[in-house]
Amino acid sequence: MKYYIIFGPPGAGKGTQSSLLVEKYKLKHISTGHLLREEIEKMSEVGIIAKGLIEKGSFVDDSIVLEMIRKVICEADPSVMGFIFDGFPRTISQAKAFDQLLQFHKKRSVNAVLSLEVDDSLIVERINKRAEIEGRRDDSSIETILCRIQTYHKKTEPLIVYYKERGKYFPIKGDLPVEDIFKNICQIMESIKNE
C-alpha cells in the first residue's frame, strides 16, 4: 500500500491532478475538505462544528480530521493500491500524527509529497473561477480566500521543510496546462515506484 500526498496552496489544482492520478495508478483519493463538506451536508455533529470554521476560512480541529484519516487507513480495502491524500496533512502537528498513525497501524510511512507550486496571484484567479463552477461557500468572498492563503503560508508551508528533511518532497511547477503538470507528476511517480 502506497501513501502519497498531493500538496499545495488552496486552488493549486490538487483535486484535478488527484482525479488523473486515481485513474492511472488505481489510487483512492482522500480529500479532507470533501469529507468535511459531506459531513456538513448530512448535518452530522462533525458537520455542524466544521461548517462555521470552514466558512470563515479557519482550519477544523486536528482531532476531527485525524479521526477521519484513522478510519480511512484502518478500513482500507486491500484491493486498493494506495492513497492520495489531498488537503491533509495541513499542519506540522497533523504530519507528525500521520507518521505515527502509519507507523503504528501499517508499519509504513509517507511515500512521497507531490507539491504543486503556484503564486498567490494565480491562486486567487483560480479560486474565483472555481467559485463560479462549484459554488463553494468558502470560495465566495475575497476575505475568506485571502485568509486561507495567509493560513496556508503560516501553518501549512512549514510542511515543505518537514518533508524535505525526510527526503519525501517533490516540487512540481503548478502554473502549466493540466496535461503538462500531470506528465511531470507521472515522471516522478515512475522514478519512485519501487520505493
Contact between 148 and ligand ADP by CB under 6 A: the answer reads: yes
Contact between 123 and ligand ADP by CB under 6 A: the answer reads: no
Contact between 97 and ligand ADP by CB under 6 A: the answer reads: no
User: In the 3-class helix/strand/coil scheme, how is 150-175 assigned residue by residue?
Assistant: HHHHHHHCHHHHHHHHCCCEEEEECC
**What is the grid cell recorded at 86?**
489531498
> Which one, 125 or 193, has the nearer CB to ligand ADP?
125
Q: How far is residue 112's CA from residue 21's CA, in Å, rounded to a whole number?
A: 13
**What are the DSSP calls for 36-72, one per residue?**
HHHHHHHT-HHHHHHHHHHHTTPPPPHHHHHHHHHHH
Mask: binding to ligand ADP, 22-41, rule CB under 6 A, as x and -? ---------xxx--x-----
Contact between 90 and ligand ADP by CB under 6 A: the answer reads: yes
Q: How far is residue 1's CA from residue 118's CA, in Å, rounded to a whole number?
A: 29
Contact with ligand ADP (CB under 6 A) among 4, 7, 11, 84? 11
Which helix (H) or strand (E) element contains residue 83?
strand 82-86
Contact with ligand ADP (CB under 6 A) among 4, 6, 51, 87? 87
- Of 40-48, 88-96, 107-115, 171-179, which part binds ligand ADP (CB under 6 A)? 88-96
Contact between 65 and ligand ADP by CB under 6 A: the answer reads: yes
